[in-house]
Amino acid sequence: MNAPRLSQLTTTAVGGPAEKVVEATTEAELVDAVSHADDAGERVLIVGGGSNILASDQPFAGTVVHVATRGITVTDEDGSADRDSETALVDVAAGEPWEDTVRETVQRGLAGLETLAGIPGTTGATPVQNVGAYGAEVSQCIVRVRVWDREARKELTFGFADLEFSYRDSLLKRSMTHGSPRYVVLSVTFRLRRQEQSMPVRYAQLAAALGVETGQSAPLATVRDTVLRLRASKGMVLDPEDRDTFSTGSFFTNPVVPEDELTDRIPADAPRYPVLDATGQEVPGAVKFSAAWLIDHAGFGKGFGLPGTRNELLDLDGGEVAGGRAALSGKHTLAMTNRGTASGEDVAAVASTVQRGVEQVFGVRLAPEPVLIGLSL
């Protein structure tokens, strides 16, 4: 019998055979699967939606735990189902698909997550990476996260401050070892506002698409629908019929550069954005740049990696990088895509070529967003 492959569990559709795959549909099953593997001294890989993993096609020697828990509970601040308060607590199981969480909260008239629509993966993965889009980060709504501590062998609850959020980072992420977490997320609790209008729209492109000024609001459902349309236009919504969407989404984080380290290698017209802390307040002394802009202006156009593509600035033949099996998306230069027969190594080769090229041109080393399993750049 053929061993299940990680390619069947990841949105890039790459990854080799796994020694063992266990699906956990309840918290008890999740804790039991992880504990059993730990007791046996096995390597453990936690997989939710598989959107933040790029895995080698070599065999994975260990246990893959597929988190498939479900459940969304909405209560008042005191734990009751009363709807009179201005805010609500939304407790979500780790395996709940993130888009289902966003859709459910929008339909219930709860504001806070609407601009994060369309991000692939599960709810339990969102605090690990502190996912964000269109001027918002999930940390701005998180109250607490319940986890299983594999070292202490007990359940813990982390409050907002305990999670030490920063841009695309958290205590949960920093506790990982070779892609395996110390803290396995069981559920996430959000505090959202009961209102039919969105939170103020901070991102200029989204505001323009909505026909409002930056800082204004729009109906929740309209904001979610607009975000989904914008993401789809960039190939950032997985479509089984479109190989140009088989990716981890944004492969690189937007680089944050301390102001005292800025050089003239980054041109003055490069888009610059404020760096925000976990509460949405601006952090002084640092500037965030667009990774997509840097990639494009380092000569890597959309589709680089396909036969016939070139980076003229660096004199690189795209088709030679991975034989055309992996390439930048034809819709957005931040996505590394599997064109149909790519291996994890092929996708990593394209990403590594881009990373080296951007550093060569601008002196900025882009950091990968997905967890790399058996691979490095």
> Rounded to an integer, what distance in angstroms lies between the CA atom of residue 138 and that of residue 113?
7
Q: Is 250 annotated as catalytic?
A: yes
> Rounded to an integer, what distance in angstroms lies between the CA atom of residue 81 and that of residue 156?
25
Structure tokens at 294: 């840097």
Question: Taking the CA of residue 233 as centre, how many other CA atoms within 13 Å lie in the half-sphere pointing to its CB?
Answer: 9
Q: Per DSSP, what are the bridge partners of residue 64?
A: 21, 45
**Closest Cα partner for 236 from 301, 328, 332?**
332
Strands (E), 25-86: 44-47, 53-55, 60-67, 72-75
Q: Is 168 annotated as catalytic?
A: yes
* Catalytic hit among 250, 325, 329, 343: 250
Q: Is 174 annotated as catalytic?
A: no
Residue carrying structure tokens 């399993």: 373
> Rounded to an integer, what distance in angstroms lies between the CA atom of residue 105 and that of residue 266?
41
Does residue 367 contact residue 252 with C-beta atoms inside 8 Å? yes
**Closest Cα partner for 247 from 121, 96, 80?**
121
Does residue 108 contact residue 74 with C-beta atoms inside 8 Å? yes
* Catalytic hit among 144, 146, 168, 339: 168
> Rounded to an integer, what distance in angstroms lies between the CA atom of residue 30 and that of residue 70?
12
- Residue 352: how many other CB atoms lie within 10 Å: 16
Phi, psi of 139 (to 5 degrees): -60, -25
Does an H or E element contain 239, and which? Answer: none
Does residue 148 contact residue 34 with C-beta atoms inside 8 Å? yes
Give me the active site residues, please: 168, 250, 369
